Structure 1
Amino acid sequence: MELKKVIEYLKAYDGPEIKLMEVCGTHTASIFKNGIRSLISPKIKLISGPGCPVCVTPTAYIDQCIEYAQKENHVLLTFGDMMKVPGTEGSLSDMKGKGAKVELMYSPFEALEKAQADPSTTYVIAAVGFETTAPAYALMMQQALAKGIENLRLVTALKTVIPALVWICENQKDIDGFICPGHVSVIIGSKPYEQLAQTYKKPFVVAGFEAEHILAVIYDLVRQLEKKEAKVKNLYTNAVRDEGNSKALEVLDAYFEPGPAMWRGLGVIPDSGLYLKDTFYDGGSRGLVADMKLPEGCRCGDVIVGKINPDQCPMFKTQCSPTNPFGPCMVSAEGACGIWYRNK
Structure 2
Amino acid sequence: MKYLSEYRDPELAKKYLEEIKNTVSRPWSIMEVCGGQTHSLVKNGIIEMLPDKITMIHGPGCPVCVTPLNLIDKAIHLATEKEAILCSFGDMLRVPGSQKSLLQAKAEGADVRILYSPLEAVKIAEENPEKEVVFFAVGFETTAPANALSVVHADRRNVKNYSILASHVLVPPAIKAVMDDKESQIDGFLAAGHVCTIMGNTEYHPLSTKYKVPIVVTGFEPLDVLQGILMVIRQLEQSKSEVENQYARIVREEGNLDAQKVINEVFEVRNQMWRGIGEIPDSGYAVRDKYAGYDAIRKFDIFIDEAPENPLCISGQIMKGIKKPYECSQFGKTCKPENPLGAPMVSSEGACAAYYHFSGMVEI
TM-score normalised by the chain length of structure 1 = 0.95
Is 1:282 matched up with 2:295?
yes
Q: Does 1:98 align with 2:108?
A: yes
Q: 1:20-44: CA deviations, max 9, x gaps?
A: 0010111111112322123320110
Write the distance in 2 (CA, Å) between the matches of 1:289 and 1:311.
33
CA deviation after TM superposition for structure 1 residue 289, in Å? 10
Q: Which residue matches 2:8?
A: none
Query: Does the 8 Å contact 1:179/1:217 carry over to 2?
Result: yes
Q: CA–CA distance in 2 between the matches of 1:55 and 1:191?
A: 26
In 2, Cα distance between the equivalents of 1:97 and 1:236?
42
Give the equivalent residue in structure 2 for 1:177.
188
**Amino acid paired to 2:234:** R
Q: Name the CA shift for 1:287/1:72 in 2 (closer, same or farther; >3 Å).
A: closer
293, 305, 320: which one aligns with 2:335: 320
Within 5 A, what are the aligned runs for 1:181-192? 181-192=192-203
Could you tell me which amino acid in structure 2 is paired with residue 112 of structure 1? V
User: What is aligned with 2:3?
Assistant: none
Deviation per CA, 1:155-206: give whole Å up to 9, x if none.
Answer: 1101111111110111143111000001101011112110000110001001
Question: 1:36-57 CA deviation, whole Å, 9 max, x = no partner?
Answer: 1233201101111111001001
Between the two proteins, the alignment pairs up a number of residues equal to 343
Residue of structure 2 equivalent to 1:262? 273
Deviation at 1:136, TM superposition (A): 0.2
Deviations 1:277-320 (A, max 9, x none): 11111011799897543323321111100001111111111111
- Find 2:253's aligned residue among 229, 242, 246: 242
Which whole-Å CA distance do the structure 2 matches of 1:284 and 1:49 have between them? 29
Structure 2 residues not aligned, in runs of 5+: 1-11, 360-364
Q: Give the letter for the 2:277 counterpart.
A: L
- 2:242 is matched with which residue: 217, 227, 231? 231
Q: Distance in 2 between matches of 1:100 and 1:306?
A: 36
Instruction: Tell me what 1:343 maps to.
Output: 358
| Aligned partners of 2:102 and 2:112 also within 8 Å | yes
Residue 70 (structure 1) aligned with residue 83 (structure 2): no
Deviations along 1:104-135, one digit per CA (max 9) or x if unpaired, are 11211111111111100010111100100010
**Aligned CA distance change for structure 1 residues 71 and 293 (closer, same or farther; 3 Å):** closer
Q: 1:304 aligns to what?
A: 319
Q: Name 2:132's counterpart in structure 1.
A: 122
CA gap of 1:291–1:21, structure 2 versus 1, over 3 A, is farther
Q: SS in structure 2 opposite 1:239? A: coil
Contact 1:217 1:235 in 2 (8 A): yes
Instruction: Map 1:36-75 to 2 at 5 A.
Output: 36-75=46-85
- Worse-matched range after superposition: 313-322 or 88-97: 88-97
Partner of 2:155: 145
CA distance in 2, matches of 1:293, 1:111: 31
CA drift of 1:72 comes to: 4.5
User: Would you say the 8 A contact 1:11–1:39 is kept in 2?
Assistant: no
Helix, strand or coil for the counterpart of 1:46?
strand
Separation in structure 2 between the aligned mates of residue 101 and residue 193 of structure 1, nearest angstrom:
41
Letter in 1 for 2:193: G
Q: CA deviation at 1:5?
A: 4.2
Give the letter for the 1:324 counterpart.
N
Q: Does 1:35 align with 2:48?
A: no
Q: Is 1:197–2:208 an aligned residue pair?
A: yes
Query: 1:159 touches 1:274 (CA, 8 Å); kept in 2?
Result: yes
SS of the equivalent of 1:155 reads strand
Over 3 Å counting, the alpha-carbon distance change for 1:235 and 1:288 in structure 2 is: farther
In 1, the alpha carbon distance for the partners of 2:57 and 2:303 equals 29
Q: Secondary structure at the match of 2:130?
A: coil
How far apart are the structure 2 equivalents of 1:14 and 1:118?
A: 60
2:109, 2:119 → 1: CA distance?
Answer: 25
Alpha-carbon contact 1:258-1:273 (below 8 Å) kept? yes
State the secondary structure of the residue aligned to 2:63.
coil
Query: Which deviates more from structure 2 when the two are superposed, residues 204-213 or residues 123-132?
Result: 204-213
Deviation at 1:236, TM superposition (A): 0.8
- Contact 2:24-2:237 at 8 Å conserved across structures: no
More helix by share: 2
Q: Secondary structure at the match of 1:158?
A: strand
